[in-house]
A and B are shown apart, each in its own frame.
Chain A
Amino acid sequence: MNNIIEPTSEKHQSSQVVNDNPFYDPTLIKRHNKAKRFKFFTIASIVFAICFLVFFLGDMVVKGLPAFQQTYVQIDVTYNKKTIVSTRKAIDKKYRRIVSRAWLRNIPKLVEASPELINTTRKTWVLANHQIDQYMKGHYYKIKDKQLKLIQQMEQQATIKLKFNSLFFTHGDSKTPENSGMLSATIGSILTLIVTMLTAFPLGVMTAVYLEEFAEDNRWTQLIEVNINNLAAIPSILFGLLGLAVFINLLGMPRSSPLVGGLTLALMTLPIIIVSSRAALRSVPDSIRQAGYGLGLTKIQVVQDHVLPLAFPGIMTGSIIGMAQAMGETAPLIIIGMIAFIPDSPSSIFEAATVMPAQIFTWAGMPERAYIERTAAGIMILLSVLISLNTLAIILRKKLEVKW
C-alpha cells in the first residue's frame, strides 16, 4: 500500500543515492540517446539522398559524355553534276555503308554554298554513320565483316577518328542519330520561356500587389487566395488540356507553336510567382509604408517607388524558380502538340517548335542505340541550364536581399 501512495518519493530517494544534484533527471541518458538516434536518422537520410543524386548524375555523365564526340572518316569526295543529283555516287562504293546518309544528302547544299568545289575531288573529313560511331566508342555495333575490316584498316592509317561533336549544338532533331542535335529544341525552349516570362511575370506580380497592398481582407479575397494555392497544386497535364481548349480551339492559335506552349506554361507558373511575390511584399516592413504615407505619398507612389523595389529580389527569386520549373515541363506540351518531330529551328513564336525536355523524351523512345548517349547528353545540358538558373536565383537573393 505504501508504494502506491508515495511512489515518487521512493523513486526520489533511490535516485538520491546515486546523485546529489537536485536537477538530476533519471531519464536524461535515455533522452540524450533518443536525440542522438534522431540526429543519426536525419544524417542517414541526407546521405541516402546524396547517394541517389551522385548515382544519377554519375550515370548520366558516363552515358552522356561520348555524345560530345563523333566519328569522322577521311575519304575522297567527288563533286560534279552527276554526284549532285545522285549523291551516293560522290564517294567510292566501298565507303557507302560507312558514311552517314545525312552527310551525303547535304552535298548539293555544300556545293551551292561554295561553288568552287564543283568538278573537283577532295579529301574530306566526312561524318560516319552511327554504327561506325558506336564501334569507335566501344559500344555494341552492327557492322558487316567487310566494313569492319575496312574500318580497322582505316584506323591504322588514321583516316578515321573521333572529333568534337559540334553538330550536336548546331543541328536539330534527326532520324539519323549521328546528325541529330539540340539546337532546334533549345531555340524552341528559349522562345517558349520568353512568352511564359512576358505573360506570367507581369500578371503574377500585379496580382500579388493587388492582393497584398490594395485588397481588403474579405470573403472574396480569401476565396481567391484559396484558389491560387489550389492552382499551384494542380497536375500540369490539366493545364495542357486548358491550353488546347482555350488557345488552340477557341482563339485559333497555331498548334505546336511556342506561343501556345508559352501561354500554357505561363498559366502553370502564375501561382508560383503570385505566392512568392506576395511573400516578398509581405516581408517589407509596414514602417516603410507608413513613412511614405507620413510624407504625403499616394498609395501608388508608396507601392511603386518603395515597396516594390524592396520586394524585388524576392520576386525575382520566385520567378526564376518558376521559370526553371516551366522549362523542365513536358506533360502539358504533349497535348498541345509540341512533342513532335520538328528538326527545323523556329524563327518566330508562331512556327512549330519543340522544347528540350520534349527532345529528351523523343530520343529516349528511339530504337537506335546511338540515341542512348544523346538522351543522356541532352539531360546533362538541360540539368546544367536548370542548375545555373537556380544558382542565379540564390545569388540574387544573397546579393540583393535586405535584412530588416
Chain B
Amino acid sequence: MIFKKSTLSLIATSAIVVSSINTAQARDQIRIVGSSTVYPFSSSVAEEFGATSKNPTPVVESTGSGGGMKLFCKGDDLKTPDITNASRRMKIKEFKLCEKNGVTDITEAVIGFDGIAIAQNKHNAPLKLTKKHLLLAVAEQVPSKDGKTLVKNPYKKWSDIDPSLPDREIIIYGPPTSSGTRDAFEDMIMKGQTKKMPVYTSLYKKDKVKNKGYKKYHKIRQDGVYVPSGENDNLIVQKLDKNQAAIGIFGYSFLMENDDKISAATVNGITPTPDTISSGKYPISRSLFFYTKNSHRKAVPAMDKYVELFMKEDMIGNDGILSEIGLIPLPDARRTSIRARVAQHKKLTLDDLSKK
C-alpha cells in the first residue's frame, strides 16, 4: 500500500507540475541566449535593467553565437528565448531555419565592435606583425619558398617567416574551434588572405569538390605550435605571463584589463585601441549583434524596455558603461541610425542578410 500511495502521489505531483508550466501565457522574465563575447555586455545591461526597474533581471545564458541561434530559431512559443546575442551576423541558413519554425519577425541590432588582440608578455620588445605573418605562423599548409606549391608549415621561429621579426620560437595560445573568436580570427586573418592567393585558390579551381577547403583556406596547424586554450581567456593571459616566448589571441577587453602583464602586438602597423578599432583601422575587429523576437513583445512586455535601455547612449555610447568593460562604440552617425531602426522594430529580411 505504501508503495502504491507514494507512486500515485509522485505521478500526481509531476502531472500538476507539468500542466502548470504549460499553461503559462505571459512571462515577466526576459530570456536571452547567445555569444559568449556579447555575454558580459548583455548581462551588464540585464543587471542594470533589473536593478533600476520593477522587472526581474533577465536571464542571460552564454551558449555561443551558433548555439544561441539554434535555440532562438527553434520555435515561436514562449519557452524559446526572446533575444539572442551574436558576435557575427545571422547566417542565411539560420534565418531560413527561423522562418521555417515560425519565427518571422526579427529585428537586428548592432551594439558595437570587439577587437581581437594579438598579445605577448610585456617584457618582450615590441612585436610588429602583419596579417601575412600571422597567416604563415598558424596555417597548416603554407606556400613553399618559390611560392608555387603548398607545403606543410615548416616555420618554427618568427625569424624564419621574416628576418625582421625576432629570433623567437613560434608558440601561439588561441581560442579552440568552438569559439566565436576563433571564427573571427580565421575569417579575417586566414580566409581574407588565402582567397586572394592563387597558390591556394588554383588548387580549388582544379577540383572544386575534392579541394573545397582551398577556396578559402583556413586550416590551423596541429603540430603543437598553435595551442587551443579553452574558452577561458584568463588562462591565455596567465600562460603569456609565464611563457615569455608565447603570443596569445583573445578578446580586447582582456588586454585592457591585464596591461600590467601583457602588451599588444601591432597588426599591419596598427595598435589596437578603441579609436583604431572603431574606425576600422585595426584589421581584426568584428561587429557585435543581438536579435529580438518581435512576436514575444506582447507576452514579454519587459523586452521593449530592455532593448531601449541597451541602445541608450549611457550604455553603448562613447562614455557608456559598456565601453568601460571593453565594448568599442560604433561611430556616432551609425549609432543613431541603428537606434532608430531598432526603436521601430524594423523587420529583418533575407535581402538585408545577403547584402554585404
Contacts and interface: CB of A to CB of B under 8 A. Distances in A.
A352 B33 CA distance: 13
Nearest to B22: A252
Interface in A246-271: 251-256, 259
Contact of B18 (A202, A253, A344): A253
Interface string A333-357: 0000101111110000011100000
Nearest to A337: B61
Contact of A105 (B51, B231, B260, B325): B51
Please indicate which of the listed interface residues A206, A259, A368 has the most CB atoms of chain B within 10 Å of its own CB: A368
Contact of A366 (B18, B40, B59, B60): B40
A175 interface: yes
B236 to A, nearest CB: 11
Interface residues of A, number: 35
A367 B21 contact: no
Nearest to A88: B314
A325 interface: no
Interface in B39-76: 39-40, 42-44, 46-48, 50-52, 56-57, 59-62
Interface residues of B, number: 42
A350 B59 contact: no
A344 B48 contact: no
Contact of A101 (B234, B256, B257, B321): B321
Contacts of B48: 105
Contacts of B258: 367, 369
B354 interface: no
Contacts of A106: 51
Contacts of A259: 17
Given A175-B40, A367-B254, A342 B59 contact: yes
A350 B21 contact: yes
Nearest to B51: A105
A60 interface: no
A376 to B, nearest CB: 13
Please indicate which of the listed interface residues A176, A256, A343 has the most CB atoms of chain B within 10 Å of its own CB: A343
Interface string A359-374: 0000011111100000
A165 interface: no
Given A175-B43, A252-B21, A342 B57 contact: yes
B321 A253 contact: no
Interface string A156-168: 0000000000000
Interface in B236-274: 251, 253-254, 256-260
B80 to A, nearest CB: 10
Given A252-B18, A365-B234, A367-B233, A344 B44 contact: no
Contacts of A364: 232, 234
Interface string A26-52: 000000000000000000000000000
Contacts of B60: 340-341
Please indicate which of the listed interface residues B42, B43, B60, B254 has the most CB atoms of chain A within 10 Å of its own CB: B43
Interface string A90-114: 0000000000011001101000000
A307 B279 CA distance: 77
A368 B232 CA distance: 13
Interface string B18-30: 1001100000010
A175 B62 CA distance: 14
B61 A256 contact: yes
B175 interface: no
Interface string A191-209: 0000000000010001000
Nearest to B39: A341
Contact of B257 (A256, A344, A367): A367
Contacts, number: 88
Contact of A365 (B17, B231, B325): B231
A252 B77 CA distance: 12
B6 interface: yes
A262 B45 CA distance: 29
Contacts of B325: 175, 367-368
A69 interface: no
The interface residues of chain B, by DSSP majority, are classed as helix
A140 interface: yes
B168 interface: no
A364 B40 CA distance: 13
Nearest to A366: B40
A390 interface: no
Given A253-B17, A340-B59, A340-B61, A174 B47 contact: yes
A367 B40 contact: yes
Contacts of A367: 40, 233-234, 251, 253-254, 256-258, 325-326
Contacts of A351: 29
A363 to B, nearest CB: 10
Contacts of A254: 21, 79
A344 B56 contact: yes
Contact of B59 (A140, A202, A341, A368): A341
A365 B79 contact: no
A252 B17 CA distance: 10
Contacts of A202: 6
B62 A340 contact: yes
A253 B18 CA distance: 6
B57 A343 contact: yes
Contact of B52 (A105, A255, A341): A105
A106 B257 CA distance: 26
A106 B251 CA distance: 31
A204 to B, nearest CB: 14
Please indicate which of the listed interface residues B6, B40, B253 has the most CB atoms of chain A within 10 Å of its own CB: B40
Interface string B343-355: 0000000000000
A53 B163 CA distance: 47
Given A352-B59, A367-B254, A341 B46 contact: yes
A256 B59 contact: yes
Contacts of A350: 17, 21
Interface string A362-404: 0011111100000000000000000000000000000000000
Nearest to B230: A365
Contacts of A251: 14, 18
Interface string A166-178: 0000000011100
Given A102-B51, A367-B254, A339 B61 contact: yes
Please indicate which of the listed interface residues A253, A340, A344 has the most CB atoms of chain B within 10 Å of its own CB: A340
Nearest to A175: B44
Nearest to A300: B2
A202 B10 CA distance: 11
A151 B116 CA distance: 34
5 contacts: A202-B6, A339-B61, A341-B61, A343-B50, A344-B50
Given A337-B61, A351-B29, 7 more contacts: A105-B52, A341-B43, A341-B47, A343-B50, A352-B31, A352-B59, A369-B258
